[in-house]
């Protein structure tokens, strides 16, 4: 992970003043870093029987798709409103920078699924908590939560369900 960390760019005052943004796009464009991320993500869940990976818009689509491919699982996008073409379920939540809504297709997850919900960064946990509630409402067998980066100083884990197994590849 040290190699991946060396490829992550810090952007000062983005998206608002006082925020130090951890930019994963510089790691994603590096073939070696992307391979390491994909391999390490897949090793966390290789023997867990994962059937679906939910990726949160938009950077969660990158790691989530790689993870689904590596595990031979299906990929389910969790999107902003109005982006999915069929019947959806939705959840609104408080983000670091305001209120947002996330949607998934109502038929995306079944009771037989074992699911990993993936996003790139755990900050305050609002987006992931909303996605978790959507997935949970579909009654899968098991739900895991995963991030590439966790910003520990923001204490986002406190906003996630206490019974959820949460993993992060890199902690700052």
Active site residue 46: no
Active site residue 96: yes
Rg for the chain (alpha carbons), in Å?
A: 15
For the stretch 150-163, what's the b/e string if a residue is b when 16 or more beta carbons lie within 10 angstroms of its beta carbon?
bbeebebbebbbee
Q: Which of 57, 59, 90, 152 is catalytic?
A: 59
CB–CB of 69/94 below 8 Å? no
Q: Which of 57, 70, 90, 96 is catalytic?
A: 96
Spatial CB neighbours of 17, under 8 Å, sequence gap ≥ 6: none
Q: Which of the residues are catalytic?
A: 59, 96
């Amino acid at each position: 992970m040290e190699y991946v960390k060396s490829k992550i760019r810090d952007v000062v005052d983005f998206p608002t003043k006082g925020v130090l943004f951890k930019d994963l796009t510089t790691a994603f464009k590096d073939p070696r870093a992307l391979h390491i991320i994909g391999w390490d993500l897949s090793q966390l869940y290789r023997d867990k029987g994962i059937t679906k990976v939910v990726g949160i818009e938009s950077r969660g689509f990158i790691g989530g798709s790689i993870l689904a491919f590596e595990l031979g699982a299906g990929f389910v996008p969790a999107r902003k409103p109005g982006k999915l073409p069929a019947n959806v379920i939705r959840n609104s939540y408080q983000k670091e920078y305001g209120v947002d809504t996330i949607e998934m297709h109502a038929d995306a997850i079944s009771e037989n699924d074992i699911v990993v919900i993936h996003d790139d960064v755990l900050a305050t946990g609002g987006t992931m908590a909303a996605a978790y509630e959507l997935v949970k409402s579909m009654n899968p067998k098991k739900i895991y939560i995963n991030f590439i980066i966790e910003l520990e100083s923001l204490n986002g884990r406190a906003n996630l369900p206490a019974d959820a197994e949460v993993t992060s590849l890199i902690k700052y």
